């Protein structure tokens, strides 16, 4: 019995010893790794990129827009030149646009402050675009770096004050805001003085995307300088654009105050206005009506613009309600006051009626090249504003409106009226000045904080240039003949549904 007991105790001790040795050979369990760590330095939605001290925020939205009497750019048909014939074959009154956007915001603390890079881009398809797959567009609105007060890249202009999209889905004609242009190139420095006061100086795109023609000019501040010596058909909104290549950035300055009650800002800009070359009415070394170095060019001009505006929060003590107002005056820098107009307006109304308007930074004439005329700068001024009221956390309604006027001086009017393209004998009133009024209202429902569903209705009134009568050539399905040139109206309706993910 003693022998059995000794054997059992010895076996147990051996088992314990072997088990202890095997346990010593097992790896020690690692502590849990925190793969995603919240970064609270810059607000909600940021998290640390694993293994770095950089904070990342990713956002997105998917949007569907449907318009009646709206273009692919969500502006009233004809208010931006082209597409305003309103016939069964020339104008699609129903248009749709799908847009999907992704945003990436990276921020890192340095000894000089925050180092930030931001990217916003996406994909878009509009039924108003022609061609396949050309109607599927890849784009980016923003792509910039910020560091120690510097901002560089594709930005929102520092001239801008109030965004028109605070109150409207539609692209408004009465604003010069660069959001309509999907931003623009710029390098800026902002100094902070404390208590919400700041000052910015910015060098920005003054027209690099519109050199030599008006194709793509809606992506910059413009620089559309028109040579009126070559015959053009004004009734079609055509302009003989004669721009110098991009040489100097626009210089923009702004003073701003941001407070709990809202913000206010004044802005100013200088803009290079230069033409390419004169042309000859008869053939020369470069050809008939060709821009030719042999003929010289008019002297350069400096355009300018000034603006002031504000937004007030919680007006009348109502939480979330806002009121905004902005006014802009420009000479030879039309895009600052009227980016929403692009190069002009063309609207055919009922029967044999039509309304038109041209928009340029300046006009000149060859007047028997090489001794041509100087550039006559165009004056454009605008005012716009809006108010928004929250009925409850899920329902809001806005009311917005504005006015923009395009004025040519006496010399410019004489140049325009002398243009062979105007066919003066067929025009009863050569008066190129024109303007646009707009009023609209948007109502939006948010059944979920990340879901927008709304309707926007905009009335646009074109106060036409050249009011009277004119003999016009055929324009699409619009027949030739004597037309009454008169004011025109466009009512645009717009439906939007948008899912946001902006943590």
pLDDT tens digits for 178-221? 887 788 899 999 999 999 999 999 999 877 544 333 222 333 45
pLDDT above 90 covers a percentage of the chain that reads 50
pLDDT tens digits for 319-350? 899 999 999 999 999 889 988 887 788 899 98
pLDDT over threshold 60, residue 257: yes
Domains observed in the chain:
60-501 (2.40.160.10)
Q: Are 189 and 201 in contact (CB under 8 A)?
A: yes
Q: What pLDDT shows up at residue 228?
A: 52
pLDDT tens digits for 99-123? 999 999 999 999 999 999 999 999 9
332 backbone dihedrals φ, ψ, rounded to 5°: 70, 20
Q: What pLDDT shows up at residue 283?
A: 60
pLDDT above 70 covers a percentage of the chain that reads 80
Q: What pLDDT shows up at residue 358?
A: 83
- Largest Cα separation within the chain, whole Å, is 137
Tell me the mean pLDDT in the region 20-30.
51
Query: Residue 305 is encoded by which pair of tokens?
Result: 């613009």
Buried b / exposed e along 269-283 (16+ C-beta atoms within 10 A) = bbbbbbbbbbbbeee
Buried b / exposed e along 170-193 (16+ C-beta atoms within 10 A) = bbbbbbbbbbbbbbbbbbbebeee
Q: What pLDDT shows up at residue 288?
A: 67
Q: What pLDDT shows up at residue 131?
A: 44
The burial of 340, by beta-carbon neighbours within 10 Å (0-12 exposed, 13-18 middle, 19 or more buried), is given as buried
Query: Residue 311 is encoded by which pair of tokens?
Result: 């937004």
Query: Residue 304 is encoded by which pair of tokens?
Result: 């300018």
pLDDT tens digits for 435-449? 999 999 999 999 999
Tell me the mean pLDDT in the region 20-39.
60
Q: How long is the chain?
A: 503
């Amino acid at each position: 019995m003693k022998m059995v007991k000794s054997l059992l105790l010895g076996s147990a001790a051996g088992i314990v010893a072997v088990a202890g040795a095997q346990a010593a050979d097992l790896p020690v369990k690692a502590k849990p790794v925190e793969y995603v760590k919240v970064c609270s330095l810059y607000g909600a939605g940021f998290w640390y990129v694993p293994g770095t001290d950089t904070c990342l925020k990713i956002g997105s939205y998917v949007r569907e827009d449907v318009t009646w009497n709206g273009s692919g750019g969500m502006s009233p048909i004809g208010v931006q030149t082209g597409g305003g014939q309103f016939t069964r074959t020339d104008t699609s009154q129903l248009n749709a646009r799908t847009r999907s956007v992704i945003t990436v915001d990276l921020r890192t603390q340095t000894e000089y402050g925050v180092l930030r890079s931001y990217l916003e881009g996406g994909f878009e398809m509009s039924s108003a675009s022609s061609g396949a797959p050309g109607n599927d567009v890849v784009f980016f609105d923003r792509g910039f770096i910020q560091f120690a007060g510097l901002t560089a890249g594709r930005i929102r202009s520092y001239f801008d004050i109030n965004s028109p999209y605070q109150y409207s889905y539609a692209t408004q004609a009465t604003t010069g805001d660069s959001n309509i242009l999907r931003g623009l190139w710029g390098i800026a420095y902002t100094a902070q003085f404390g208590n919400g006061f700041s000052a910015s100086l910015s060098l920005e795109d003054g027209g690099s995307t519109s050199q030599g023609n008006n194709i793509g000019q809606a992506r910059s501040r413009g620089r559309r300088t028109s040579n009126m010596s070559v015959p053009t058909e004004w009734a079609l909104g055509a302009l003989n654009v004669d721009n110098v290549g991009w040489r100097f950035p626009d210089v923009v300055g702004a003073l701003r105050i941001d407070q709990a009650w809202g913000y206010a800002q004044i802005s100013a800009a200088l803009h290079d206005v230069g033409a390419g070359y004169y042309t000859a009415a008869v053939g020369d070394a470069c050809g008939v009506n060709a821009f030719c170095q042999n003929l010289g060019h008019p002297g350069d001009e400096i355009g300018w613009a000034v603006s002031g505006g504000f937004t007030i929060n919680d007006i009348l003590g109502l939480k979330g309600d806002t009121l905004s107002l902005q006014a802009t005056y420009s000479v030879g820098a039309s895009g600052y006051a009227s980016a929403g107009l692009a190069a002009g307006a063309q609207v055919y109304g009922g029967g044999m009626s039509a309304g038109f308007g041209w928009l340029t930074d300046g006009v000149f004439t060859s007047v028997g090249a090489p001794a041509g005329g100087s550039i006559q700068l165009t004056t454009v001024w605008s005012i716009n504003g809006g108010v928004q009221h929250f009925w409850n956390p899920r329902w809001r309604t806005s009311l917005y409106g504005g006015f923009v006027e395009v004025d040519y001086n006496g010399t410019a009017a004489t140049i325009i009226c002398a243009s062979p393209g105007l066919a003066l004998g067929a025009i009863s009133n050569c008066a190129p000045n024109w303007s646009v009024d707009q009023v609209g209202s948007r109502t939006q429902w948010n059944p979920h904080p990340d879901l927008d569903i709304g309707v926007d209705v905009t009335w646009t009134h074109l106060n036409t240039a050249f009011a009277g009568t004119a003999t016009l050539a055929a324009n699409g399905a619009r027949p030739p003949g004597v037309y009454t040139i008169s004011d025109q109206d466009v009512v645009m309706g717009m439906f939007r549904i948008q899912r946001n993910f902006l943590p």
